[in-house]
Amino acid sequence: MAERSTERLVRMLGIVAYLDKNERVPVPELARHFGVSTKQIIADVELLWVSGTPGYAPDDLIDFDYDQFEQGIVSITADRGMRRPLRLGTREAIVLLSSLEAVREVLGSGISPEAGEVLDRAVTKLRAATGAAADALDVHLWVGGSEAVRSAVGEALAQGRRLRMRYVNNDDVVSQRDVDPARLFTDNGVTYLQGWCHRAHGARTFRLERILEAGVLDEPATQQARVREPEPYRPDSSEVVAIDLAPTARWLAEQVPVESVTDLAEGAFRIELRVGGSAWLRALLLREAQQVRAVTPASAAHDAALAAREALEAYERLGLAP
């Protein structure tokens, strides 16, 4: 899967900080330290070389020792202040403030008094720092589930205790489960609880809105360490489709589980991905039709082309054709 731009940004900033403490570092050593290939480290350094502070004149850019780099050694000669903590701008402060308000919205009264006090202090300072801009911020994150459920989940997470809950699955089957909660997270506007389910004897993810009742038990949550980060979705399919896209669709390579990304001329690029179902591919091609330049094999685009043609004919029958 293509690396996300945020992941690369964090690594590149880490490289600057690492080189600040280690003057001359061989490329293979940097690669081992950051868990990537030597080719990726070289690409990161070359991108850092043309990065810097606003203005982006030569004196604003990060600089490295060219002669040493030619010999496979990375040595930074000017970090342009990248290792110094920066003050939050209004935009950054608003983003952080909205995130903290979202935490309060998700956990509700389940936040411990100590954590709630810290949260309140942080919110107060951020609101004071952002001034009038904060007055326009009104965060209401819909998380589903009752206040009693959110409170119990928050308490169980804060105290490291087991949770007993009644849960209804997609088939409307209600079951009672004892869960060692690990974390809450939100994805595409839906809030989930991840934890170790003793009924299933494994890690499970539960939609918060499907938890009918929840209570905190006296037993400690002992299985939290066995819960792993969810792996990215990969369709179980041998069919690989290549899609050539316009430069403005670069974000798509980070949003879908691609096999590879290849740069083309004039900023265009090609993604290869495994197709788990024709309906999913049809929806993708129709939604991003203006960005699509080519599909290989061409037969993979047949359903989307047919659906688009039928839609245009329907508009014509209604007298709404452009």
Across residues 203-210, what is the average pLDDT? 88
Q: What is the pLDDT of residue 316?
A: 84
pTM over 0.75: no
- Residues facing 260 on adjacent strands: 272
Across residues 215-243, what is the average pLDDT? 73
Which strands, in side-by-side order, build the sheet including 292-296? 258-263, 269-274, 240-245, 292-296
Q: Where in the chain is the domain with CATH 2.30.30?
A: 147-226
Tens-digit pLDDT profile for residues 160-204: 899 999 999 877 789 999 999 988 877 766 788 889 999 988 888
54 or 317, greater pLDDT: 317
Closest listed residue to residue 196, CA positions, set 231, 160, 171, 243: 160
Structure-block tokens of residue 98: 């909205």
Cβ proximity of 76 and 20 under 8 Å: yes
Across residues 82-101, what is the average pLDDT? 67
Distance CA 244, CA 293 (A): 5
Which runs of E-coded beta strand occur in the chain?
25-26, 63-64, 73-74, 76-78, 161-168, 174-187, 190-197, 202-207, 211-220, 240-245, 258-263, 269-274, 292-296
Structure-block tokens of residue 263: 């740069």
* 90-107 vs 113-130: helix crossing angle, rounded to 10: 150
Per CATH, which fold does 147-226 belong to?
SH3 type barrels. (2.30.30)
Look at domain 5-78 and name its CATH class.
Answer: mainly alpha
Q: Where in the chain is the domain with CATH 1.10.10?
A: 5-78
Tens-digit pLDDT profile for residues 76-86: 887 776 655 55
Q: What is the pLDDT of residue 175?
A: 92
